[in-house]
């Protein structure tokens, strides 16, 4: 993830040097505005769907909560495997 962030910063600096700071800032601001508007539109659609189609909205909520629960269990299982292999106290002392 850190590599991707560094690459994005490098590309951003490269673009800023090529097109100039003012043009880059103007375009960057426009792109951010578009992204924010799209995000807000998606939120509005989800809210409208919750009112107009409560059954499908409830199914969506249930599936999301089940997915989160599965991920939580998966994480706990992986941590318990690590703790069973290395022991709880030795894992903390070696990786702190």
> CA-CA distance, 31 to 29, in Å (whole number)?
5
Domain that holds residue 9: 2-52
Looking at residue 95, its pLDDT comes to 54
Ranges of the chain whose pLDDT falls below 50: 91
- The set of residues, in sequence order, having a beta carbon less than 8 Å from that of 50 and lying 6+ positions away, is 57
Whether residue 59 lies inside any domain: the answer is: no
Whether residue 38 lies inside any domain: the answer is: yes
For 2-22, the pLDDT digits (tens) are: 899 999 999 999 999 999 999
The number of distinct structural domains making up the chain is 1
Whether residue 24 lies inside any domain: the answer is: yes
Whether residue 84 lies inside any domain: the answer is: no
Looking at residue 5, its pLDDT comes to 94
Looking at residue 80, its pLDDT comes to 85
Whether residue 47 lies inside any domain: the answer is: yes
């Amino acid at each position: 993830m850190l590599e991707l962030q560094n690459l994005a910063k490098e590309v951003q600096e490269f673009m800023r040097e090529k097109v100039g700071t003012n043009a880059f800032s103007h375009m960057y601001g426009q792109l951010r505005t578009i992204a924010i508007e799209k995000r807000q539109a998606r939120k509005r659609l989800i809210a409208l769907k919750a009112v107009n189609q409560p059954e499908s909205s409830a199914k969506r909520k249930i599936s999301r909560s089940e997915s989160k629960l599965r991920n939580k269990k998966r994480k706990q299982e992986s941590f318990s495997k690590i703790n069973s292999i290395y022991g709880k106290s030795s894992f903390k002392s070696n990786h702190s």
